[in-house]
A and B are shown apart, each in its own frame.
Chain A
Amino acid sequence: MVSDVKDILLVGVGGQGTILAADILSQVLVSVEYDVKMAEIHGMSQRGGGVSTMIRFGSKVFSPITEKGKADYVIAFELLEALRWSDYVKPGGVMIANTERIEPLPVILGKAVYPNDIEEKIKAKGINLITIDAAKFAEQAGTKKAANMVLLGCLAALMPIGKEAWYGYIERRVPSKTIEINKKAFDLGYEIISTTASMV
């Protein structure tokens, strides 16, 4: 019995909109009739801690949890979190990392240092790393806050699901006033990857 299950991780810092992006992603997967399981670690995320969501889909999914070294895609909303979760990317897998740096308290207090060579470290592991300044593209779309949609767009471009399905769930999930901005941000992310996909 060969399992066709694929694993996607969305990781970041509380307040970056990872959970919303993960919700949209899993709804889209359900709409194209996959069995889907999703595991969240939240709880204290509102208080500046790390957040991670694991999404597994295929014809039949048992465990909701992704093992280290097994994720097909890891989308990191913050650079240090990208490094922290890089052990989860499978050999030859893809990591999309936002270049935003959010310093954790130990760094601010001078008790720890924010590493400077994160990208090199991740690449040295043989991971296909794509870095994106998501805030820049989100600003082009209308607001920095839509950075999560830029990153979702990046992921969508790697998946065999038409754009319309994504639009549908974005429309349902974001405040009506911001639908166009969010869709634009999603499109910008989608284009970046479509044009650089040969890298992957």
Chain B
Amino acid sequence: MKVLLTGNEAIAHGAYAAGVTVACGYPGTPSTEILESLAKYEDVDASWAPNEKVALEVGIGASLAGARALVTMKHVGLNVAADPLFTLAYTGVNGGIVVITADDPGMHSSQNEQDNRHYAKAAKIPMLEPSDSSEAAWLIEKAFTISERFDTPVLLRTTTRVNHSKSLVDASDERVQKEPSYEKDPQKYVMVPAHAQKRREVVESRMAALADYAEEFPGNRVEWGDRQIGFITSGISYQYVRETFPEASVLKIAMINPLPKRMITDFIDHVERAIVVEELDPYIEDQIRGWGLTVEGRNYIPGIGELNTEIIREALNEEEIEAPVEDVKTEEMPQRPPMLCPGCPHRGVFYTLSRMKLIVNGDIGCYTLGVMPPLNAMDSCICMGASIGNAEGMHKATGRKDIVAVIGDSTFVHSGITPLINTFYNQDPTTTIILDNRTTAMTGRQGHAGTGVKLQGENTKPLDFEQLTRAIGIESVQVIDPYELKEVRQALEEAIAQDEPSVIISQRPCLLVERSKNGPLMVTADNCIGCKVCLRLGCPSISWKDERAVIDTASCVGCGVCAQLCKSDAIVEYTQPDKGAGI
């Protein structure tokens, strides 16, 4: 049966068909939906881990015990998981293990644009790369076979356009059944130096065997056409090339590491010009040049951002192309930036931070949007879990006490606990605000150790942030309601005054998780003096019409934060005009 699936759904389906029984990851766009789709199968144990390193460690345990395991993360997540990955290359596997790295060329929702193909080379493990959903479903099955046949973890690299695009997949419900079996083998699985030194040689001979396999791997293939130009390409770039130059010869590579050297050499010999089309770094091109062959690519194809058919056509067409009509100067149009939702519990905290002019070290999550005007309440944002350490460093450099870190609940569990321990140990008097909205909101409301609900729906015991931070030893811990602006301010003033590290836990569920029970508010035009103070909140429900503030009653959730700001009591509970309220 042919069904339309995203690349992520296709990977989940393919992994299920391949008999995966344990799957673990940390949510991160564009990888998140893989695990969410797998979680729907009862005979798979799918779970979110606090971070990618832990996710991989769970996967490794499952693999050693003989199960097939899938581990998912976005590209930056692999930086976190790199430590166990590099040693896993030495131990090898028992049940097959595949790690997904979902790269994000163009940075649609990421803090950097790294090309994770380099990880495969650096860790000395095979990497496969699909170019659409149907290939993704096929390749993930192949990845498990390769993993077991060559006793190695396999990286499957995707990019946003493959993860989030839909195409047709032949989907059956057949599933490989595998009985896990484990045999003690410390020489292979315990990486003390003496054992690791022996495994180091195994790693090299494995890569040599894989290099031979790459030549016959059915995912690597030549599609002969016109031989004036031959394109060497992989992943989504293959689709762009086929679309743009339907007549050309194409060498399509699905195994990114190791590359099929003989196949590539032969292809280059049989075309007049060979051009590599690849997104981000010249990964394939550099290797081909390293073999002493002549190839083009980066001299035409840009290395920053996503490719598309237009870029490729313009880069490679010698003739003048008719420029598309562009009468609309989109850069002059009002942008539509994402913003904190109406009634978002983080808004009160950011508003207060910005009014108090504190130095705010931010972190990765919805609340990074606190950087946007009119709040402008963020000074730094580097990577998951960085805010607390950044704040500590800033204090060390300046001695200032008005330095805070904001971190979401999920991010705190991910990698905020260790830097908080460090801040406590060093007694650096920074303030950490845990913005606890009971979910991993940015990636689509996933659970985590603080929420009390697991990926497959079962309830569990939630982590108590107050107890946890007190157990670290921090004495100044306050729990506040971010909807109460006075409370927020008081807590901050108190925390900043401390000579020791302090924690504020700002607790309110994300509105996308728990709908507000409050009715909307409205502005009584007669009372509104047009001071615009409520607009400073940047609540999408408040707009400006005819010199007065107006609240959109359809989207306002009645959090009441704006009403606390209005000095002339113009913001009141919404009453249906026909029910009469003196208006």
Contacts and interface: CB of A to CB of B under 8 A. Distances in A.
A35 to B, nearest CB: 6
A42 to B, nearest CB: 7
Given A30-B4, A39-B161, A63 B334 contact: no
Interface in B325-369: 325-328, 330, 333-341, 366, 369
A106 interface: yes
Interface stretch (A82-90, A158-166, A188-196): A82-90
Nearest to B333: A84
Contacts of B161: 39, 64-65
A89 B524 CA distance: 43
Nearest to B549: A108
A114 B308 contact: no
B338 A48 contact: yes
A44 B338 contact: yes
B309 interface: yes
Which of A42, A91, A113: most chain B CB closer than 10 A? A42
Nearest to B324: A69
B325 A125 contact: yes
Nearest to A68: B324
Interface string A67-103: 1110000000000110110110001000000000001
A30 B171 CA distance: 14
Contacts of A43: 29-30, 108-109
B108 A104 contact: no
B512 interface: yes
Interface residues on B, range: 35 or more
A93 to B, nearest CB: 11
Interface residues of A, number: 55
B112 interface: no
Given A30-B2, A46-B512, A49-B337, A108 B325 contact: no
Contacts of B519: none
A103 to B, nearest CB: 6
B27 to A, nearest CB: 12
B542 A38 contact: no
A104 B337 contact: yes
B399 interface: no
Given A84-B328, A86-B328, A87-B325, A108 B165 contact: no
Contacts of B542: 108
Contact of A49 (B29, B239, B326, B336): B336
A85 to B, nearest CB: 9
A47 B167 contact: no
Interface string B236-275: 1001101110110000000000000000000000000000
A14 B166 CA distance: 19
A49 B338 contact: yes
A83 B328 contact: yes
A172 B581 CA distance: 43
A200 interface: no
Contacts of B108: 41, 43
A119 to B, nearest CB: 13
A80 B333 contact: yes
Which of B164, B334, B336, B338: most chain A CB closer than 10 A? B336
Given A39-B165, A42-B164, A44-B109, A13 B325 contact: no
B310 interface: yes
Which of B30, B108, B324: most chain A CB closer than 10 A? B324
Contacts of A109: 373-374, 535, 538
Given A37-B132, A105-B540, A113 B167 contact: no
Given A3-B246, A44-B338, A39 B308 contact: no
Contacts of B538: 105, 109
B568 interface: no
A37 B168 CA distance: 8
A180 to B, nearest CB: 23
Contacts of A104: 334-337
A106 B331 CA distance: 13
A121 interface: yes
A87 B324 contact: yes
B543 interface: yes
B287 to A, nearest CB: 25
A62 B333 contact: no
Contacts of A108: 535, 540, 542-544
Contacts of B563: none
9 contacts: A14-B338, A35-B167, A44-B442, A47-B366, A64-B165, A64-B167, A64-B239, A112-B333, A115-B333
Interface of B: 2-4, 29-30, 108-109, 132, 161, 164-168, 236, 239-240, 242-244, 246-247, 308-310, 324-328, 330, 333-341, 366, 369, 372-374, 442, 512, 535, 538, 540, 542-544
